[in-house]
Amino acid sequence: MKKFGNIAAIFVLGLVFAAVSHAQAPVKIGLIDSGEFADEKTGIQKFINAVKALNTELAPRVKELTDLQTKMQALAEEIKKLENVGPGVPVNQKAILDKRDEGGRMQREFEFKKNEYDAYLEKRSNDVLGPIQADIAKAIQEFATKNGYTMIFDLDKLGPSGALLAMDPKADITKEFIVFYNARPATAAAPR
């Protein structure tokens, strides 16, 4: 009977040790709001500087589109005035048609320039921000490994989709990551 008790005790201890060795460490999940990276005061400086440089580069094209839009609005007002003359005053149909033709030409020019701008913006954003975004992604992985995070999710992507139903504010590690990233040496290529 004593042998049976010893065997049973060894068996129970074996089960306990097996359970302990198979027990998983708690899953540590963090949330980072990538929208905060561009915040002028608390964001990632390298990213902010690249966005500013890109905006400066694109400013002349944006102004050109804005000016063209303003001209189209002014032309629409002129057409309205020509059409809404007082009673008894003859309407100048030729002037109205000429203005509409000019408006159509301006609209086509605007659409062409807008499409050209959108394509240029996408290309330059990829050229300028792409290397920085890749470096940020690498740094997030480094941060996760260093701090024992099993997973890190992007609040900026989860929130609008409705996928995030509730969260403990302590899970938001955005500020800690930004401090970590800004303290790192520069590794991404400079904007071209």
pTM passes above 0.85 = no
Whether the per-residue pLDDT at 189 is higher than 50: the answer is: no
Span 4-25, pLDDT tens digits? 444 544 554 454 455 455 556 6
| pLDDT mean over 70-76 | 94
Range 47-58 average pLDDT: 96
Contacts of 152 (CB under 8 A, 6+ apart): 29, 30, 31, 32, 140, 143, 144, 173
pLDDT tens-place string over residues 117-132 = 999 999 999 999 999 9
CA–CA dist 50, 163 (Å, integer): 30
Q: What is the pLDDT of residue 190?
A: 46
Q: What percent of the chain has pLDDT over 70?
A: 84
Each domain of the chain, given as residue ranges in start order, spans 2-183
pLDDT at 56: 97
Residue 34 DSSP one-character state: G
148: Cβ contacts below 8 Å, ≥ 6 apart: 28
Mean pLDDT of 175-188: 86
At residue 191 the predicted structure's pLDDT band, cuts being 50, 70 and 90, is very low
Please say if the pLDDT value at position 106 is more than 70. yes
